[in-house]
Amino acid sequence: MVNFIGTYECKADVKGRVMVPSALKSQMASVLNKGFVIKRSVFQPCLELYPMEEWNLLMEKMNKKNRFKKKNNDFIRRFSAGVKIVELDATGRLLIPKNLVEIANITKDVVLSSAINIIEIWDKDSYEKVIEEDAENFADLAEEVMGGEEDELS
């Protein structure tokens, strides 16, 4: 399992190619040759880049869902809509498919943000807006998510 660290600003060219910063690329070294899956985020106006191993673990979990429940089928369909396999090219660029560029409103300035085992890909303005909006409530959210007595941090 890979745990990515950091937030990186970079540029997208007109074809949707993003040069992955060397600090992030070195963190990806162990998973680079297996490829990645890119998809729209469920909760935010961004994209998610999964190393193939992480994607496969998620798909194993999803495959256990009962397909004879409409809700499960509807979720799987929406979750996997627009999913693409991508790789970094020889120069370290990631080509974001055009339909996903449009979904995430990616223009020129891009933020690659670690989210533990995946990378979120944001239009810079959207990223800054979400971070700013959530800043006021972050302390309450941190307490709710991480402050439970049943979960002890080491």
Domain ranges of the chain: 7-146
Distance from C-alpha of 25 to C-alpha of 40, rounded to nearest angstrom: 21
The set of residues, in sequence order, having a beta carbon less than 8 Å from that of 67 and lying 6+ positions away, is 73, 76
Rounded Cα distance between 48 and 37, Å, is: 8
Tell me how many degrees the CA angle 55-60-63 measures, rounded to the nearest 5: 120
Q: Which two tokens stand for residue 118?
A: 């995946």
- H or E segment at 42? none
State both tokens at 114.
Answer: 């670690």
Contact 100, 82 (CB under 8 A): yes
The CATH class of 7-146 is alpha beta
pLDDT at 152: 56
Per-residue pLDDT tens digits of the chain, which is 154 residues long:
789 999 999 999 999 999 999 999 999 999 999 999 999 999 999 999 999 999 999 999 999 999 899 999 999 999 999 899 999 999 999 999 999 999 999 999 999 999 999 999 999 999 999 988 877 778 788 888 888 766 555 5
Task: Report the distance separating Cα 93 and Cα 11, nearest Å.
Answer: 11
State the SS3 of 76-144: HHHHHCCCEEECECCCCEEECCHHHHHHCCCCCEEEEEEECCEEEEEEHHHHHHHHHHHHCCHHHHHHH
Residue 111: Cβ within 10 Å count: 20
pTM: 0.89
